[in-house]
């Protein structure tokens, strides 16, 4: 992790299978020059090259929100499903839209949200590497 004490930023996360014996995927995080989280990229396996999802973020450091997430299919790129998130002026998640097709015009789902913004905690158990394992 990079950054001064208390301000460290995750660089990479390994996600393991059900019994913790094998790395299923690797997520790497990219930050803007001004320290905001800019994007995350998930690939199959340990430091693999096959993309499975990509997310782009916007917002001030520590308050970044996913703007677009694309789940990438391995069999047919036309089936990739970008999910666009839309936020109200007061920062609450207002809606999300998932689309498919080469031009992204075919809606597959649309969700509308109500209620105040909630600080969400990541409940998935993962291990974040501190150094390059090679």
What CATH number does the domain containing 84 carry?
2.40.128
Amino acid 56: pLDDT: 92
- Assess if residue 5 is contained within a domain: no
* pLDDT attached to residue 7: 75
* Residue 132 in domain: no
Domain count, the chain: 1
pLDDT digits (tens, 9 = 90+) for 31-72: 999 999 999 999 999 999 988 889 999 999 988 988 888 887
Residue from 120, 100, 101, 117 nearest 109 by CA:
100
Residue 91 is assigned to a structural domain of this protein? yes
- pLDDT, position 130: 41
Which of 93, 124, 96 lies closest to 109 in space, CA to CA?
96
For residue 75, what are the domain limits? 12-116
């Amino acid at each position: 992790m990079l950054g001064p004490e208390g301000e460290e930023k995750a660089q990479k996360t390994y996600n393991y299978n059900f019994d913790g014996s094998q790395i299923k995927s690797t997520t790497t995080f990219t930050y803007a020059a001004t320290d905001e989280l800019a994007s995350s990229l998930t690939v199959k396996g340990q430091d693999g090259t096959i993309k499975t999802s990509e997310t782009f973020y916007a917002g001030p450091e520590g308050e970044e929100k996913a703007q677009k997430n694309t789940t990438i299919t391995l069999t047919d790129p036309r089936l990739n499903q970008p999910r666009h998130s839309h936020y109200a002026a007061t920062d609450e998640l207002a809606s999300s839209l998932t689309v498919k097709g080469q031009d992204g015009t075919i809606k597959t789902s649309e969700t509308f949200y109500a209620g105040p913004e909630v600080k969400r905690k990541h409940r998935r158990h993962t291990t974040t590497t501190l150094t390059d394992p090679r």
